[in-house]
Structure 1
Amino acid sequence: MNLILWRHAEAEDQASSDLARQLTPRGRKQAQGIAKWLRARIGDDALFLASPATRTIQTAEAFGDRYRVVNALAPGNGAQAVLDAAGWPDGIGETVVVIGHQPTLGHVAALLMTGRESDWSIRKSGIWWFQTRTRGSDGQTVLRAVVNPDLL
């Protein structure tokens, strides 16, 4: 399974509610850049799961309309909620892209890399790409890529 954690792109600071915050023009550009990078590397069968927040939906839309809104990915939910939504480590699909929030995505990255949650930072519109594999009888987690929009 491939699990790609994609933090929403830059959003406005204020709105009628936290869930209503929209992407800034810079955020739209960030999301488009990462979407272009992903499009060249993942198949058409990839599943996209987005938090119900407007900014995550707008980030997902940079890739197209192939996303599903999942309430378990809303701000304030924990790392395990993200992993459960994606079906980690077996997966609800071969490649699952989760578009979500800090600090939760950072907690997921730390958990997958070290076995425990920690306050790791994922930059706005940044991705962390994990993959499961089996060596002998051992399941392993591999970090395939970390990409930030300013590197594209």
Structure 2
Amino acid sequence: MKKMLILVRHATAEDQSFRVKDFDRNLNNRGLAESEVMGKWLAEANVKPDIFISSPAARAFKTAEIFAKQLGVNSASINSKPEIYDGGPRAYLSAINSVSEDFSNLILFGHNPDITYFAEYLSGGNIGSMKKGGVAFIEFENQKWEEISAKTGNLVLYKTPKQIGGVE
């Protein structure tokens, strides 16, 4: 059975400061707009993720919530995986490998540079550095989630908010 993994780098967040821990940084106005545009674009493309997984960091989780709203999904169903925040690409792989076979379309919200490394690790593709709010679609043929590893996927699409045309 075909699987689709949609990787989303969180949208633009407020700058780091000594007053706010990195984990607690929220989306700024640009990030809110990027998330709205990308979520709406997925909805218009009739993309229907079966399961949402997100880093619990404020900026990633808020991006996931906005996408969920645009896609008509209850944000209470977003699975928060703390290890995604700073666990490196292995944490992403662990999150993917543990998904039930009941799901064929997974959307995962995370952080750079790990999410870019992970996309390239799975697909063998070269994205460069995922842009804030960027979305990468990686397709897997005849594999279970637990079998997914290096270069087992095919990068079929990568889009950024700027390419969609909503945010400069």
For normalisation by structure 1, the TM-score amounts to 0.84
Q: Hey, what's the Cα distance between the residues in 2 that align with 1:107 and 1:91?
A: 25
Relative to structure 1, the CA distance from residue 88 to residue 144 in structure 2 (aligned partners, 3 Å threshold; closer, same or farther) is farther
In the other structure, the counterpart of 1:77 is 87
Unpaired runs of 5+ in structure 2?
70-74, 143-150
- Counterpart amino acid of 1:131? E
Q: Hey, what's the Cα distance between the residues in 2 that align with 1:68 and 1:110?
A: 23
In the other structure, the counterpart of 1:2 is 4
Q: Hey, what's the Cα distance between the residues in 2 that align with 1:106 and 1:30?
A: 18
Q: Hey, what's the Cα distance between the residues in 2 that align with 1:100 and 1:35?
A: 15
Are residues 1:101 and 2:111 paired? yes
Unpaired runs of 5+ in structure 1?
none
In the other structure, the counterpart of 2:32 is 28
- Counterpart amino acid of 2:84? L
Are residues 1:123 and 2:131 paired? yes
Q: SS of the counterpart of 1:28?
A: helix
Q: SS of the counterpart of 1:150?
A: helix
User: Aligned-pair distance for 1:41?
Assistant: 3.0
As a proportion of its length, which structure holds more helix?
Answer: 2
Q: Hey, what's the Cα distance between the residues in 2 that align with 1:99 and 1:91?
A: 20
Q: Say if 2:122 and 2:152, in contact at 8 Å, map to a contact too.
A: no
**Percent of counterpart pairs with the same letter?**
30
- Counterpart amino acid of 1:60? A
Q: Which aligned runs of 4 or more in structure 1 are off by greater than 6 angstroms? A: none
As a proportion of its length, which structure holds more strand?
Answer: 1
User: Aligned-pair distance for 1:133?
Assistant: 1.0
1:25-44 deviations in whole A, cap 9, x for unaligned? 0100000111111223322x
In the other structure, the counterpart of 1:41 is 46
CA RMSD across the alignment: 2.5
User: Aligned-pair distance for 1:46?
Assistant: 1.9
Relative to structure 1, the CA distance from residue 54 to residue 102 in structure 2 (aligned partners, 3 Å threshold; closer, same or farther) is same
Q: Say if 1:9 and 1:56, in contact at 8 Å, map to a contact too.
A: yes
Relative to structure 1, the CA distance from residue 148 to residue 119 in structure 2 (aligned partners, 3 Å threshold; closer, same or farther) is closer
